[in-house]
Amino acid sequence: MRRRDFLFSLGGAAAAGPLAAQAQTSDVTKRIGVLSPYPESDKSIQAQLGLFRSALGQLGWSEGHNLRIDYRWAGGDMDRLAPLARQADGIDAAFQTLAGETDTGLLVVPDATTTANRARIVALAARLRVPAIYPFRFFADEGGLVAYGIEVGDVYRRAATYIDRILRGAAPAELPVQAPTKFELVINLKTARALGVTIPLIMQMTADEVIE
């Protein structure tokens, strides 16, 4: 009997595919390990995982039938990710430095620390009136000024196709690296008004979504 075990990382924009795969046991049930630096209660991550599971289902993989998914969430047995929480301690200090500057904005980079602390970052930007551009649309959904970056849902769906190929016998080392192909621009006009920032009309017209 053979089973192929595989690890899938969900860090910030790094949810692009499997990190490791190795053959083991069982012809019937395949096993996937999902390692997340975010808590299980994170609604955005759960939504992306829903897309991921749906894509796997379309490829013939069903939880409880021929697929088992084991999850490890932040806040559980995630000792290897502990340094990410310590790095988050610098967020308040970074904003305090920006707060005293004029004509200054903030570019939030896409990583697990900023994504896991997005509510805190968005709240600080609003309180200290710092205009910020964020890497993913869920920042804008939660009150961020502007979000521009990859469409995360598409990355999760494409990751499922990689997993499917590996579970069917493809060698991970032989699979081509894929770059993201879908990007989205989301503007939160409510936040812009609160900050006193004017978003050019042409930018609003070209946005994928404008939140009123």
| 139 is a domain residue | yes
Q: Is the pLDDT of residue 120 over 50?
A: yes
Q: What is the pLDDT of residue 76?
A: 47
| 177 is a domain residue | no
Q: Which residue has the higher pLDDT, 68 or 78?
A: 68
Pair 122, 31 in one domain: no
Pair 111, 167 in one domain: no
Structure confidence by residue, pLDDT tens digits, 17-63: 333 333 343 457 899 999 888 889 988 899 999 999 999 999 999 99
- Which of 24-59 are b and which e, b meaning 16 or more Cβ less than 10 Å from the residue's Cβ? eeeeeebbbbbbbbbeeebebbeebbebbbebbeee
Is residue 186 within 8 A of residue 207, CB to CB? The reply is yes
Q: How far, in Å, CA of 134 to CA of 190, rounded?
A: 16
Q: What is the pLDDT of residue 201?
A: 96
Q: What is the pLDDT of residue 81?
A: 37
Going by their DSSP bridges, the two strands 183-188 and 209-211 should be labelled as: parallel
Q: How far, in Å, CA of 57 to CA of 85, rounded?
A: 34
Q: What is the pLDDT of residue 88?
A: 64
Pair 127, 189 in one domain: yes
Among the ranges 10-24, 98-112, 179-193, which has the highest mean pLDDT value? 179-193
Q: How far, in Å, CA of 155 to CA of 16, rounded?
A: 6
Provide the residue range defining the domain that includes 167.
2-80+153-172
Pair 114, 163 in one domain: no
Q: What is the DSSP string of the chain?
A: -EEEEEEEE--TT-TTSEEEEEEEE-SS-EEEEEE-SS-TT-HHHHHHHHHHHHHHHHTT--BTTTEEEEEE-TTSS-GGGHHHHHHGGGHHHHHHHHHT-SS--EE---SHHHHHTHHHHHHHHHHTT--EEESSHHHHHTT-SEEEEE-HHHHHHHHHHHHHHHHTT--GGGSPP-----EEEEEEHHHHHHHTPPPPHHHHHH-SEEE-
| 75 is a domain residue | yes
Q: What is the pLDDT of residue 199?
A: 95
Task: Tell me what percent of the residues of the chain surpass a pLDDT of 70.
Answer: 80
Look-up: residue for tokens 């939030």?
Answer: 108
Pair 113, 31 in one domain: no
| 60 is a domain residue | yes
Pair 94, 111 in one domain: yes
Q: How far, in Å, CA of 119 to CA of 127, rounded?
A: 12
| 131 is a domain residue | yes
Nearest in space to 88 (alpha carbons), one of 59, 113, 120: 113
Q: Which residue has the higher pLDDT, 95 or 133?
A: 133
Pair 127, 108 in one domain: yes
What is the pLDDT confidence band of residue 96, given thresholds at 50, 70 and 90?
Answer: confident
* Predicted structure pTM score: 0.76
Pair 127, 205 in one domain: yes
Structure confidence by residue, pLDDT tens digits, 177-186: 888 899 999 9
Pair 72, 161 in one domain: yes
Pair 39, 92 in one domain: no
Mean residue pLDDT of the chain comes to 82
Pair 90, 194 in one domain: yes
Structure confidence by residue, pLDDT tens digits, 72-92: 887 645 344 333 364 567 788
CATH number (domain holding residue 99):
3.40.50.2300
Nearest in space to 59 (alpha carbons), one of 175, 152, 172, 167: 167
Pair 108, 207 in one domain: yes
Between 55-69, 97-111, 129-143, the lowest mean confidence (pLDDT) is in: 97-111
The structural domain count of the chain equals: 2
Structure confidence by residue, pLDDT tens digits, 147-170: 999 999 999 999 999 999 999 999
| 36 is a domain residue | yes
